[in-house]
Chain A
Amino acid sequence: MSFLHASEMRGGYGGADILHGCTLTVQKGEIAVIVGPNGAGKSTAMKAVFGMLKLREGAVYLDGEDITGLSPQERVYKGMGFVPQTHNIFPTMTVRENLEMGAFIRKDEIEPTIEQVYELFPAVYEKRNQNAGELSGGQRQQVAVGRALMTQPKLLMLDEPTAGVSPIVMDELFDRIIEVAKTGISILMVEQNARQALEIADKGYVLVQGANAYTDTGANLLADPEVRRTFLGG
């Protein structure tokens, strides 16, 4: 079984279902990307995988273990890290404190991990004593990813990490995400910049109305004329 295996997820926010049998899997060290139109339920699917949404049907397995009934906090302990689409930093706390709070559940020495995050994101190091809320969009996203890395997760989930950043910063962030994946961390990522994201994806999901429309390798999806026409603008 894959490292993350979320199968046939159905559920919503109390009213009608938003997810209509959505399945997501990620292998170890793999980058999986979810693309799809606005309102397709991409964020909802991420929340479901992370336990922030009660599933009516379906199950989530992490490393072979059924975690469907676990709370988000319990999933953090199991090795999942999540960077939400919005409100993903502590704005009136310094960058360093953001990282410390990311490591809140850890009892061991966190200094080496902070150093690793600083190495991965030099901008985070530079701004370490500044309040996170005062940073630019791209820098905030780096802090947000850094915060999630502080628990040393085995699966890192990112909801639109490049939303609202310039193309240069986007490329930079994607490079960093590839670096993270190379250390053996699995990545599940939602992206608006579908073309660029699929280029770095080992696996791609096209989500439409809460269900998988297309699932293939990133390269194959990019080559698929149907996907190109409907979702990648030709």
Chain B
Amino acid sequence: MDILNALVAFTNFVVVPATAYGSQLALGALGVTLIYGVLRFSNFAHGETMSFGAMVVVLVTGLFQSWGLSLGALPTALLALPFGILATALLLLLTDRVVYKFYRKVKAVPVMFVIVSTGVMFVMNGLVRMVVGTDDRRFSDGARFVINAREFKAWSGLNEGLALKTTQVITVVVAMITVAALFWFLNKTRTGKSMRAFSDNEDLALLSGINPERVVMITWLLVAALATIAGTLYGLDKSYKPFIFQQLLLPVFAAAIVGGIGNPLGAVAGGFVIAFSEVTLTYAFKKVVTYLGPDSWAPDGLVQLLSTDYKFAVSFAILIIVLLFKPTGLFKGQSI
């Protein structure tokens, strides 16, 4: 039995990647939940919004790299992030002006908004493809590892290595800063509080003199920042592939709904629930089991509950279970 090696293997292949992936989902789900809370619809275009933001970051990163601009050990993309956010904010405000505003004015039912957002999704998707095509792009530069597996083995004397990629550390740190800033904004500033008030009780917010159009605008700005950061972190960690964001929509929504849609704290928790479930269920535990059991127990198979091809089924299954048994999510969100 070798608990240490088992633990390191588990950390290396499950805990670290799931934490990074969970942070990305949490940021994505926060955007979905803000839109749901304030504008009261499920924005199916959110995945493409993340894609658009990340695309701008990829392009600006390329430009900076061609100028020889860099952040040393950190990826240049961090420098390009504000430009991605700005471009996405403009896109979202424009979309709101030419599309959603009309449906707010005629007081369209939520399902109408969902369908409209699906249309917006296709348009944004086309826009991204027109600009950068469908190719896979790697845009992370700087130091690749904070902890390198080989060095870790030499240092610890264990069989198993532990690798910690720079992008993973950056993902978690940036996500933490972003979430802290968002919660500070929502809970401590007058504007943030007015957003929560509007989300809580629209009519009473109006009676209190809160301007709904301003609340909507601020929401889109926050969503632009969250989506761009989420998309960029995902792209840095893996690579930037436009069509992946359509698939990412499912786990992002699952995270928002599992946590309790409309509840920001729930979105963060939901992101990690989905990420850990997905990674744990699709991880081949053969190594870990082998370390833990006596030699004769070493399994023949991979001890993998689900093939990685089915990882999206995990989000889907969790989503269905939550909707069936606790429609308001783990934290008290709005019922769908």
| Residue B65 is within 8 A (CB to CB) of chain A in the complex | no
Minimum CB–CB distance for A38 against chain B, Å: 22
Minimum CB–CB distance for A108 against chain B, Å: 14
Q: A76-B207, A93-B200 are in contact. List 9 more A-B contacts (CB 8 A).
A: A72-B207, A73-B207, A73-B209, A84-B203, A91-B200, A97-B196, A101-B210, A104-B209, A105-B208
Minimum CB–CB distance for A31 against chain B, Å: 22
B206 in complex: contacting residue of A73, A91, A100, A102, CB < 8 Å: A73
| Residue A88 is within 8 A (CB to CB) of chain B in the complex | yes
| Residue A13 is within 8 A (CB to CB) of chain B in the complex | no
Known interface pairs A84-B203, A87-B201, A87-B203; A92-B208 also in contact (CB < 8 Å): no
Contact present for A102 and B203 (CB under 8 Å): no
Q: Please measure, in the bound complex, the distance between the C-alpha atom of A65 and the C-alpha atom of B206, giving whole angstroms.
A: 23
For A76, A89, A100, A101, which residue has the most chain B Cβ atoms within 10 angstroms?
A101
Residues of A within 8 A of B196 (CB): 90, 92-93, 97
Residues of A within 8 A of B207 (CB): 50, 72-73, 76, 82, 84
Chain A minimum-CB-distance residue to B196: A93
Residues of B within 8 A of A97 (CB): 193, 196-197
Residues of A within 8 A of B204 (CB): 84, 87-90, 147
Residues of B within 8 A of A90 (CB): 196-197, 200-201, 204-205
Known interface pairs A101-B193, A101-B194; A76-B200 also in contact (CB < 8 Å): no
Contact present for B209 and A76 (CB under 8 Å): yes
Residues of B within 8 A of A (CB): 190, 193-194, 196-197, 200-201, 203-210, 332
| 8 A-B pairs with the lowest CB-CB distances in the bound complex, closest first | A105-B209, A90-B200, A101-B197, A104-B208, A90-B197, A73-B209, A104-B209, A101-B208
Selected A-B contacts with CB under 8 Å, 17 pairs: A50-B207, A72-B207, A73-B207, A76-B208, A77-B209, A84-B203, A84-B204, A88-B204, A90-B197, A93-B196, A97-B197, A100-B190, A101-B210, A102-B208, A104-B190, A104-B210, A147-B208
Contact present for A93 and B206 (CB under 8 Å): no
Q: Please measure, in the bound complex, the distance between the C-alpha atom of A89 and the C-alpha atom of B205, giving whole angstroms.
A: 9
Residues of A within 8 A of B203 (CB): 84, 87
Minimum CB–CB distance for B190 against chain A, Å: 8
For B190, B201, B203, which residue has the most chain A Cβ atoms within 10 angstroms?
B201
Chain B minimum-CB-distance residue to A87: B201
Residues of A within 8 A of B200 (CB): 90-93
Q: How many residues of A contact B (CB 8 A)?
A: 22
Q: Please measure, in the bound complex, the distance between the C-alpha atom of A151 and the C-alpha atom of B196, giving whole angstroms.
A: 19
Q: Please measure, in the bound complex, the distance between the C-alpha atom of A151 and the C-alpha atom of B209, giving whole angstroms.
A: 10
Residues of A within 8 A of B (CB): 50, 72-73, 76-77, 82, 84, 87-93, 97, 100-102, 104-105, 147, 151
Residues of B within 8 A of A82 (CB): 207
Minimum CB–CB distance for A73 against chain B, Å: 5
Contact present for A72 and B197 (CB under 8 Å): no
Q: Please measure, in the bound complex, the distance between the C-alpha atom of A77 and the C-alpha atom of B190, giving whole angstroms.
A: 19
Residues of A within 8 A of B208 (CB): 76, 101-102, 104-105, 147
Q: Please measure, in the bound complex, the distance between the C-alpha atom of A101 and the C-alpha atom of B193, giving whole angstroms.
A: 8
Chain B minimum-CB-distance residue to A92: B200
Residues of A within 8 A of B205 (CB): 90, 101
Residues of B within 8 A of A151 (CB): 209
For A100, A104, A105, which residue has the most chain B Cβ atoms within 10 angstroms?
A104
B201 in complex: contacting residue of A72, A89, A100, A102, CB < 8 Å: A89
Residues of A within 8 A of B209 (CB): 73, 76-77, 104-105, 151
Q: Please measure, in the bound complex, the distance between the C-alpha atom of A100 and the C-alpha atom of B210, giving whole angstroms.
A: 12
Q: Please measure, in the bound complex, the distance between the C-alpha atom of A60 and the C-alpha atom of B205, giving whole angstroms.
A: 23
Residues of B within 8 A of A92 (CB): 196, 200, 332
Chain B minimum-CB-distance residue to A101: B197
A93 in complex: contacting residue of B197, B210, B332, CB < 8 Å: B197
Chain A minimum-CB-distance residue to B203: A87
Residues of B within 8 A of A72 (CB): 206-207
Contact present for B201 and A91 (CB under 8 Å): yes
Residues of B within 8 A of A105 (CB): 208-209
Minimum CB–CB distance for A226 against chain B, Å: 37
Q: Please measure, in the bound complex, the distance between the C-alpha atom of A92 and the C-alpha atom of B209, giving whole angstroms.
A: 19
Q: Please measure, in the bound complex, the distance between the C-alpha atom of A77 and the C-alpha atom of B201, giving whole angstroms.
A: 20
Minimum CB–CB distance for A36 against chain B, Å: 24
Chain A minimum-CB-distance residue to B37: A92
Q: Please measure, in the bound complex, the distance between the C-alpha atom of A130 and the C-alpha atom of B172, giving whole angstroms.
A: 31
Chain B minimum-CB-distance residue to A75: B207
Residues of B within 8 A of A73 (CB): 206-207, 209
Chain A minimum-CB-distance residue to B334: A92
Residues of B within 8 A of A50 (CB): 207
Minimum CB–CB distance for A49 against chain B, Å: 13
Minimum CB–CB distance for A131 against chain B, Å: 10
Q: Please measure, in the bound complex, the distance between the C-alpha atom of A35 and the C-alpha atom of B206, giving whole angstroms.
A: 27
Minimum CB–CB distance for B261 against chain A, Å: 13
Residues of A within 8 A of B206 (CB): 72-73
Q: Please measure, in the bound complex, the distance between the C-alpha atom of A57 and the C-alpha atom of B196, giving whole angstroms.
A: 37
Chain A minimum-CB-distance residue to B333: A92
